[in-house]
């Protein structure tokens, strides 16, 4: 199968949002330049998350055959695709085939293959081949992420604090201080134990006395959510161990939605919208009628200030994923962006 250029992307398997982008071949082969690449990226991201374009990665991941050719999907009229008009045709790459890498219903990445006019279009046989390769590539991507995350130890890894009975620090693993600094945002310059740590310690001791499990504490910081888990280690009484870690992506999305005052059911619906599910799929997943789903959607749009499902997905992607992609943030073992701090990209507003 001839390929003139390819662009690979990572996908977060929980919400189907892109986590990485690699346009190296497009640049190396002269289809894009450093000057045109930002506009091309803007067009692709807008096509994926803001406009109703064909063959989105999320839609491919839900198909029996997770590979699709642009000309076939548009019935021979690729100009119906905004992505074709804004990026593919001007770049001299009129032919496109996209594939999502899916294993057991979870997408771990995707690839876009390009061809020039001289090379001709992709064929159904090409799509069938990529469909067969989708699962083994997905499993290879998943395993690579796990091995890579296991090798990478640093401030992104969970931290551990052990507090003595007077809440003095008895032990702290490397990198913990960076997370503590995030928790001190309400008291800039302070070097004492952050208030959330003290709250977890007190709650953990109380839970131990009552014979129940302590509840994890999710703490908002200027750069994202941090989750604190308390436990009582063996040894002297009243010592508390606190694990500090980046809040898992699915929980962080739930917390962000909760900040918009969404009800529990609205948060469930919004999370499924963020994954790209349509009304019928949400109705089936939550065992509610399609009309109830539509009512929830209306309430969600009003509370989040969005007007459509694409706008809601864009809200999650552009505020949480795009800045991390731009600075090439690594991924954790589950395919999520491995960030404690939310990256900032000076002067970039991709929603314009």
**Both structure tokens of 158:** 């969970």
CATH code of the domain in which 276 resides: 1.10.10.10
* Rounded Cα–Cα distance for residues 131 and 191 (Å): 55
Q: Each residue of 233-259: pLDDT tens digit?
A: 877 788 999 999 887 766 777 777 766
Answer for the pair 262, 270: CB distance below 8 angstroms, yes or no. Answer: yes
In this prediction the pTM is 0.56
For range 226-232, the mean pLDDT: 89
**236 lies in the same domain as 285:** no
**34 lies in the same domain as 142:** yes
Q: Each residue of 104-116: pLDDT tens digit?
A: 888 888 999 999 9
* Rounded Cα–Cα distance for residues 234 and 232 (Å): 7
Q: Does residue 323 carry a pLDDT above 50?
A: no
Name the domain count of the chain. 3
**112 lies in the same domain as 72:** yes
**139 lies in the same domain as 27:** yes
Query: Of residues 334 and 110, which shows the higher confidence score?
Result: 110
Q: Does residue 318 carry a pLDDT above 60?
A: no
Q: Residue 238 is part of which domain span?
A: 159-247
| Lowest-confidence segment of 108-122, 135-149, 320-334 by average pLDDT | 320-334
Q: Each residue of 174-219: pLDDT tens digit?
A: 778 888 888 887 555 556 788 888 888 888 988 888 888 888 888 8
Angle between helices 264-274 and 279-286 (to 10 degrees): 130
pLDDT at 190: 54
Q: How many CA atoms lie within 13 A of 154 on its CB side?
A: 10
**17 lies in the same domain as 112:** yes
**50 lies in the same domain as 169:** no
**142 lies in the same domain as 172:** no
| Lowest-confidence segment of 2-11, 121-130, 289-298 by average pLDDT | 2-11
Query: Of residues 6 and 234, which shows the higher confidence score?
Result: 6
Stated as kind and residue range, the H or E segment containing 51 is: none
121 backbone dihedrals φ, ψ, rounded to 5°: -80, 165
**11 lies in the same domain as 128:** yes
Answer for the pair 109, 9: CB distance below 8 angstroms, yes or no. Answer: yes
* Last residue of one domain, picked from the residues 151, 174, 200: 151
Q: Each residue of 114-127: pLDDT tens digit?
A: 999 999 999 999 99
Answer for the pair 119, 95: CB distance below 8 angstroms, yes or no. Answer: yes
User: What's the pLDDT band for 157 if we cut at 50, 70, 90?
Assistant: low
pLDDT at 153: 39
**174 lies in the same domain as 89:** no
pLDDT at 150: 43
* Rounded Cα–Cα distance for residues 101 and 123 (Å): 19
| Closest to 107 (Cα-Cα) out of 45, 15, 21, 7 | 15
pLDDT at 149: 46
Answer for the pair 273, 300: CB distance below 8 angstroms, yes or no. Answer: yes
* Rounded Cα–Cα distance for residues 322 and 68 (Å): 25
pLDDT at 332: 58
**22 lies in the same domain as 145:** yes
Number of neighbours of residue 284 by Cβ within 10 angstroms: 12
| Closest to 47 (Cα-Cα) out of 15, 75, 84 | 84
Answer for the pair 68, 104: CB distance below 8 angstroms, yes or no. Answer: no
Q: Order of strands across the sheet with 5-10?
A: 5-10, 106-115, 95-103, 67-69
Mean pLDDT of the chain: 81
155 backbone dihedrals φ, ψ, rounded to 5°: -65, -20
* Last residue of one domain, picked from the residues 102, 131, 151: 151
């Amino acid at each position: 199968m001839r390929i003139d250029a390819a662009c690979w992307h990572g996908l977060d398997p929980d919400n189907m949002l892109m986590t990485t982008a690699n346009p190296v071949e497009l640049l190396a082969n002269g289809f894009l330049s450093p000057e045109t690449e930002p506009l091309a990226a803007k067009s692709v991201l807008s096509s994926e998350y803001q406009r109703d374009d064909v063959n989105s990665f999320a839609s491919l991941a839900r198909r029996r055959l997770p590979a699709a050719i642009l000309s076939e999907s548009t019935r021979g009229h690729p100009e119906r695709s905004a992505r074709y008009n804004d990026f593919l045709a001007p770049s001299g790459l009129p032919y496109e085939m996209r594939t999502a890498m899916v294993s057991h219903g979870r997408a771990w990445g995707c690839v876009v293959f390009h061809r020039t006019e001289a090379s001709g279009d992709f064929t159904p046989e090409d799509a069938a081949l990529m469909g067969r390769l989708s699962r083994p590539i997905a499993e290879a991507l998943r395993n690579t992420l796990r091995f890579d995350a296991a090798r990478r130890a640093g401030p992104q890894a969970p931290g551990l604090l052990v507090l003595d009975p007077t809440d003095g620090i008895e032990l702290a693993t490397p990198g913990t201080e960076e997370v503590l600094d995030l928790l001190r945002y309400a008291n800039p310059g302070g070097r004492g134990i952050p208030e959330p740590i003290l709250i977890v310690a007190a709650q953990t001791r109380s839970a131990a006395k009552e014979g129940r499990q302590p509840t994890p504490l999710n703490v908002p910081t200027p750069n994202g959510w941090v989750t604190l888990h308390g436990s009582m280690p063996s040894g002297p009484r009243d010592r508390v161990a606190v694990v500090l870690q980046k809040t898992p992506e699915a929980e962080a999305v739930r917390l962000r939605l909760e900040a918009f005052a969404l009800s529990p059911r609205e948060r469930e619906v919004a999370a499924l919208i963020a994954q790209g599910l349509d009304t019928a799929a949400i109705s089936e997943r939550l065992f509610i009628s399609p009309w109830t789903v539509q009512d929830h959607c209306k309430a969600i749009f009003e509370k989040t200030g969005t007007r459509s499902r694409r706008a809601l997905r864009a809200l999650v992607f552009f505020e949480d994923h795009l800045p991390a992609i731009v600075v090439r943030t690594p991924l954790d073992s589950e395919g999520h962006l491995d960030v404690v701090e939310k990256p900032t990209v000076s002067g970039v507003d991709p929603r314009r």
